[in-house]
Amino acid sequence: MPRIAYKIFYDGTVFNGFSGNPESIEEYLKRAFKKFNEDVKLLKASRTDPGVSAIGNVIAVDLSRIVLPEQLNSKLPESIRVWAWSIVDNTFNPRKASSRTYMYVKLYEDEDLELMRSCAQLFIGTHNLKNFTIGDDKLRSVVYIHDISIIRSGNYIYFTITGKSFRNKMIRKIVWTLVSVGRGKLSINYVKDLIDCKIERTVPSIDPEGLILLKVKYRPEITFKICEKCVIEISKYLENKIKSQLLTTECYSIIRNEFLNILLSNFLR
């Protein structure tokens, strides 16, 4: 029975999260496999919150036969698309990633970019970010963040954060903090005390709709087979969203552009 890993795109703004309810993305995927007589236990790289989208979340399932992405997509809503696949070792668990990269998109509202960038450097490395999590598990709140970049393009700011793993709502709490510093509502010294756990505070979360899971990486690297038809379907879906002016048009544009960049990097390897 082969274990197969799939790369998944989804528009999180139209679902109530990846897991945990009958209308979640995970349940739609399970029902799609069921149509091929495959009752699967689905392993996933990231259990994203309601409103959060993904270009390259990774799932893995044990199947009695290979089910191709285009077959699965025929049983899925257009807002979920499987676009790449690979046969992997039976011990492969998508949660054991070497890195995850997220992007948060928001409207530029005169935030001080240099101040936010200086503050972002405090998060780099290994830290106990208990103040940026939900719950009291101190061990699970220790994370390693490799990089945070903050770029302004036109009327928008893009926060790109890469780390080995993140806890529930951690990315959104970090972005909320950086934005608050950029608006002069928090000082960098105050944030340093939050990171060092010198003080305990409940840090708010920024809205989920601007958050996108861009990619998940593994060591050793997995070579995925890309479904060209599936890629075209995703591109068409995003174009229609952009034209319809629904929700955050800029967010859909960024998803499209980042998706194309990820595809290009796959083809050039």
Tracing tokens 């698309």 back to the chain, one arrives at 81
By the 10 Å C-beta count (0-12 exposed, 13-18 middle, 19+ buried), 117 is classed as: middle
Catalytic entry in 49, 89, 136, 193: 49
Q: Taking the CB of residue 243, how many other CB atoms lie within 10 A of it?
A: 10
Strand partners, 156: 107, 153
Q: What is the DSSP string of the chain?
A: --EEEEEEEE-GGGSS-SSSSTTSHHHHHHHHHHTTT---PPEES--PPTT-EEEEEEEEEE-SS---HHHHHTTS-TTEEEEEEEEE-TT--TTS-SEEEEEEEEE--S--HHHHHHHHGGGSEEEE-GGGSSSS-TGGGEEEEEEEEEEEETTEEEEEEEES---TTHHHHHHHHHHHHHTTSS-HHHHHHHHTTSS--------GGGEEEEEEE-SSPP-PEE-HHHHHHHHHHHHHHHHHT-S-HHHHHHHHHHHHHHHHHHHH-
d(CA 206, CA 80): 24
- Active site includes 49? yes
Could you list the active site residues?
49
